[in-house]
Chains A and B, each alone.
Chain A
């Protein structure tokens, strides 16, 4: 079960400022204006996606990680029929998203970056009408609406107009709405932006639960921990290009030096240093002072036993170990030379 997604060499160039939906929160597509009025005004052009190819497998949680303006929302826009690719093709299952929009739309649920609820309706009506758009009958609609309102803790505000809702409530309702017609694929564009930590955890739980039903989930985020904990696989995107992809573990392992083990002994000798260098997976050993050593290796925990044995063999006492896991932050830094939050 589950439906996969494919992007084939997708390119998107905006020649007019893209609509709000495709705009990152802190990013602006303000066109370049030349200073002197006599000069010909520079033609507006923004390359949002530059030849992106990606495959998301059925039933996985796929994360798109990147800074604001990297092209994440444009990618989501193309995958959800809302943005027309300049070139290249995108598929949901076997359906070409641009050519067979209606079939694609049936399979997807979309949570936009900013709540885009129908302000003329109450929370319950938002869900009921959404179900109706997807052809659910009245009984099914009512049952599913009650379920979702309960699940998203919105039951007590169900009959209030959504324009009176707080940001977090709107976000919850947006997600409930996207799940209303039980889509095979759920797209979430920066779902936890602006959510308090509690709601964020609730959201993660819901995403995992929905994924547990065999549904494919695509989410964009610029939070490292979110990408790391939620996604089975992820792609890091910057300036419209995929700069790395794989499981979070694979990606982190791809950083040279990978894990960092900071060791403290009662003393450090040259023999010990030499012995540590011969351990499997160790790329570099540095002595920081006469009682500590930093070991760079492609693994963390599994190395501890060998280190203990090495120390014992040299009659040296191991006093402290700290394993620092490779992080996506480091990976992004490694590939772009910039921090993700810049």
Chain B
């Protein structure tokens, strides 16, 4: 049996405004995004029988959100515990529910409120699990973990601050054409280099832009998609990798990430390769996440990402457009669900001023470090 998902499609997309401090509850934002996604595809809450989301804290549960928009009886309800690593797994899970007949129409969402900021300093706490060895050393939060990866890459492959800056600058350029993005003021390489240190080798502009907001997408069968208003965007295939129990510190080669293992699985399942991809929504909690995963997916060799970006190969008119919406770095951090929204928008041809001409395939990655996944969308089945 093949391992493709292309009997399923994304038919609706929805979202809230992204704001630094919305003052709203997670439940209200998730409900708005879900309603927006259903309205987008001409379906009603009564048509929905599946809901799923992921999160680590501060979310609203699938049953709460379904109830809040008037779904009479939610059948398939799956609340996945995880962060950026689990986004494409959750979306692919919705597709498998549809393909297996467990549900007909599934809403997948992610909501983040002000109480879920990852980048803020933690108050007085005790830490268990693996963090009990790290926290007491003043080492506990994601910018620190991924700066550890980045440093090792710089040591082994000679990558530089200027290479990271090329990614940050280009994504900000893309966001300038995205009215929904929170970070739209252009930055130069000098602005990047002069931005304040967070933890070396990361500066402020290496870090994503945390916001409040929600994104929802509607997944159903390819058959049903044919009767709905938008051109269907098919889920072609997906793959995941989980090593070292999610331990950053024990991950064997910190110049690479989960994508080292995910990419060969994904390309094998779909028969595709990097050069087949038109739009790459690369998970970008930090600039370096783009660098490591971009190499792992085979867009270029180790240590060449900076040159690749500077040569214009990762933007309009190049080989592949990376994060046309600006990504988590500039559009806003909706934990990678906004990458799925953007991929669908681009493949429909509805991205307006930032449309990637002739976009037929989109790679969406999720996660950083020792675990994550990836998914390919297409305008046609394989």
Q: Do A and B come from one complex?
A: no
